[in-house]
Amino acid sequence: MIGIDITYRALYDECRLCPRDCRVDRSVRRGVCGEADTLRVAYVGPHFGEEPPISGESGSGTVFFTGCAVRCSFCQNHQISRGGLGEALTAEDLAGRIIDMAVRHRVHNINFVTPDHFFPDVFEVVSICRDRRGVRLPLVYNLSGYQQIESLQQAEPFADVYLPDFKYSDSELARKLSRCPDYPGKALDAVAEMIRQKGFLDSFETDGAPAGKGVLVRHLILPGEVENSMDALTMLFLEFGDRLPLSLMSQYHPVTPQAHAPLNRRLSKDEFDRVFDHALALGFRNLFVQFPEEVPAGGEGFSWRPLVPDFTAEEPFAPILG
């Protein structure tokens, strides 16, 4: 393994960490992700809004990073992904906060949320936690799906669980909302690489115990874009089969005014039902479902009140009222 203190830091010099391939020297100016080579973090703390094998009973130990390479217009975390909210930290500082969180809250894992544009620092943080401080919690990488294969290969020894999104099957919609028409192909390749490394999420083989390794793919259903969702599920099924662990999410909430008119409203029950029925018809076996209402009697799934994070607050995750 190449030295983390030298070689990985050099990845910032002509940045190709994501498929944007901007090749910016981030020690001089910011990349497409909006960030330079200084690690910035918006929140470190336990989070209970993930899927059951990730949150468990004690919560997932989340680290929310500032900036994002995809920068979706509708991002639920827009304050940090697009707005630049966050605090500059050294890798030592962040490792210290993570260890303190793990001890105080007894979280099930360390969950890096949108970390890929800071991979060099994240790898160092992981090395400090593991090698110098003896932390052995599973390491979760919560990703957009729009990843560079080479970056994922570098991440392999520093990751245990991958939670990638698969946002778009529609290239034009990906262009309109995230300025990345190549998203469908890039994301399929990225998910394939993650599965090659870690396999499917292991909680299905351990009677629902907190996940220790593997891949769980997420899809957020967008209002007015049922065909995008149905085609996305079909693509995943054809590529990875019926045992692919899949999380179907209905939590979309308009947090900023959108030029794409359907995104200025919530998802309707009819839209959700059409996508959910399609997932069942395809035959996905390992399916988590975030129902827009209460879970039906006997239903396989999970639900929670949708959350609009406010990263200016001490506790960013407050339920939407009404």
| pLDDT class of 304 with cuts at 50, 70, 90 | very low
| pLDDT class of 308 with cuts at 50, 70, 90 | low
Query: Taking 90 as the threshold, does the pLDDT of residue 6 lie above it?
Result: no
Query: Taking 60 as the threshold, does the pLDDT of residue 53 lie above it?
Result: yes
Question: Tens digit of pLDDT for each residue in 220-264?
Answer: 999 999 999 999 999 999 999 999 999 999 999 999 999 999 999
Residue 128's pLDDT is 95
The top-level CATH class assigned to 39-306 is alpha beta
Rounded CA-CA distance 202/206 in Å is 7
Rounded CA-CA distance 247/217 in Å is 6
User: 171-178 and 183-198 are packed helices; what angle lies between their axes, rounded to 10 degrees?
Assistant: 100
pTM: 0.93
Tokens of 134: 């003896």
Query: Taking 90 as the threshold, does the pLDDT of residue 156 lie above it?
Result: yes
Residue 295's pLDDT is 40
Query: Taking 60 as the threshold, does the pLDDT of residue 24 lie above it?
Result: yes
| pLDDT class of 311 with cuts at 50, 70, 90 | confident
Average pLDDT, the chain: 91
Residue 301's pLDDT is 55
Query: Taking 90 as the threshold, does the pLDDT of residue 315 lie above it?
Result: no
Residues in contact with 118: Cβ distance below 8 Å, sequence separation at least 6, in sequence order: 35, 39, 40, 65, 67
Rounded CA-CA distance 138/197 in Å is 15
Q: What is the mean pLDDT of residues 1-9?
A: 59
